[in-house]
Amino acid sequence: MHTSSSPRRSPRTSWLAGTFRPSAPSRNRTGARAGARATTTLLAAAALLVSGCSAGSPRTSADGVAEAALAALPRATPAALSPYYEQPLHWRSCGAPGFQCATMKAPLDYARPAAGEIKLAVSFKKATGSGRPLGSLLVNPGGPGGSAVAYLQQYAGIGYPAEIRAHYNIVAMDPRGVARSEPVECIDGRQMDAYTQTDLTPDDQKETNALVDADKKFAESCGAHSARLLRHVSTVEAARDMDMLRALLGDQKLNYVGASYGTFLGATYAGLFPKRVGRMVLDGAMDPSLDAQQLNLGQTAGFETAFQAFSKDCVRHPDCPLGGKDKTPAQVGDNLKAFFRKLDAHPVPAGDADGRKVGESLATIGVIAAMYDQGSWGQLREALTSAMKENDGAGLLALSDSYYERDASGSYSNLMMANAAVNCLDLPPAYTGPEGVRKALPAFRKASPVFGDSLAWATLNCSYWPVKATGEPHRIEAKGAAPIVVVGTTRDPATPYPWAQSLARQLSSGRLLTYVGDGHTAYGRGSACIDTAIDAYLLHDTPPPSGKRCS
């Protein structure tokens, strides 16, 4: 099992990754952990030490720890970056009708712009209205590692409200190291199959050694195959790429909708370029002030909250094999833990062409994947019924494969690899080795009796990463920015609601919009109240009052 924050991340990073997942009835799922995606740490904090980005005046927290704030970059574009900010973009038709694509060049290292470049994939869909567009609207579905270009072409460019599509040119860019933008590469499909099946709840030293060995080999492979990229896929660098794209599109300010990890990316942009913020929506928000330990524990509690909601629903459904009329929600969790223990000893067949069986790790990821969207709860009940009563793990394997973005041929997208690369660069590891995880197990078990052990051990990925982290936890204030709408869902599994509350407080112009409900992210997932508030903001520049709640 592996984690990173949004809907996604790499098979094992410090937290579960996450990407925006459209609701089951109305949307096609796109993107990555989370994003969303499996069990790594969903989100990573921004890098403060990249390219002259320094911290602002520290603030002392309640526990006496100094908290630095992300400092804005100078307003003037450095002369060394002028060739990049003035480059032509050569658009061509691509994907479905109406979409255009181009390649944008950016410096690999912003501290040394002349030392080499990276090529980034960009796509856009022209506004459908006859009047003058309001400008460009950049979208990002999260991850880290989710393909924004795929999200645009498969959902946003055709599924966003008609009025939004009429008034904006909708644009996407795969962040550096992701999908079409010089992807991070680590291991092949067969190796990834083995990695995702590694036991994440070691019972003895032998199993602990096997887990550590798997994480070390994954990290070493990433270092061997993507050495050039690994030091330059931070969120700060991706945010600077976004500003370059803004300029090349001819926009004075950046209009942006980011989901899950995309909120961290957008907030980082606002911290670096506060005066260039236009209309910005951060949906399913991350908290950049948290370190990797806090992020992992917070997300573990978030998945427990979502599972408790599923458990209450389960006991009302006769077809739920974990519950039934005579069971309580607490017994649902106990029954699932017992089933996980059984799978740990005896994996069940799944009819997989490659001979994979569903053990505890894949089953846990399958259950976690269903927590991202309550529309998947029925599918999870069916999958659990097949596995528990018919010894058939195909349904759970399908859920796990969807999280990891594995196709029927056995190939994986680079979602999990990019997820690890970004997360491990953005924040120092939660723990330096197994002993740290063992000491933290009581806290994780308290946060989630069901998922605590697996999510604790999933944090080891970054412990062996070949590149030292360049980022650290920090607040983002973005002083001087236009109003920024921060959206939080009260029972969001991957980006817990307290994260949205915290980010809205940090941002000097933050406006908290709350959805009282289930699932990961809120915009476009069925709440007319949420959609109306965000559409009014994007179209008429009328942000909702801070504290507005929808259900």
Residues assigned a catalytic role = 260, 492, 520
Of 92, 166, 156, the closest CA to residue 126 belongs to 166
Q: What is the chain's percent helix, strand, coil content, to nearest 5?
A: 40, 15, 40
Q: Which candidate, 485, 491, 489, 497, places its Cα nearest to that of 536? A: 485
Tokens 């607490």 found at:
330
Which pairing describes strands 348-349 and 168-173: parallel, antiparallel, or unpaired?
A: unpaired
Quick one: DSSP state of residue 464? G
- CA–CA distance, 241 with 277 (Å, rounded to integer): 15
Two tokens at 25? 């009835």
DSSP string covering 434-461, please?
HHHHHHHHHHHHHH-TTTHHHHHHGGGG
Read off the tokens for 371: 């927590």
The Cα 102–Cα 169 span in angstroms is 15
Q: Is 410 helix (H, G, I), strand (E, B) or coil?
A: coil
- Whether 41 contacts 52, CB under 8 Å: no
Indicate the DSSP class of residue 412.
B
Question: Would you state the structure tokens that stand for residue 337, as one six-digit string?
Answer: 């833990």
User: DSSP label at 77?
Assistant: P
Burial bucket for residue 345 (CB in 10 Å: 0-12, 13-18, 19+) = exposed
Tell me which residue of 196, 128, 255 sits closest to 419, measured CA to CA: 196
Bin 361: left if φ > 0, else alpha if -120 < ψ < 50, else beta: alpha
Q: Count CB atoms within 10 A of the CB of residue 43.
A: 46
Q: Provide DSSP, 190-238.
A: HHHHHHHTS-SS--SHHHHHHHHHHHHHHHHHHHHH-TTTTTS--HHHH
Tell me the pairing of strands 168-173 and 142-143: unpaired
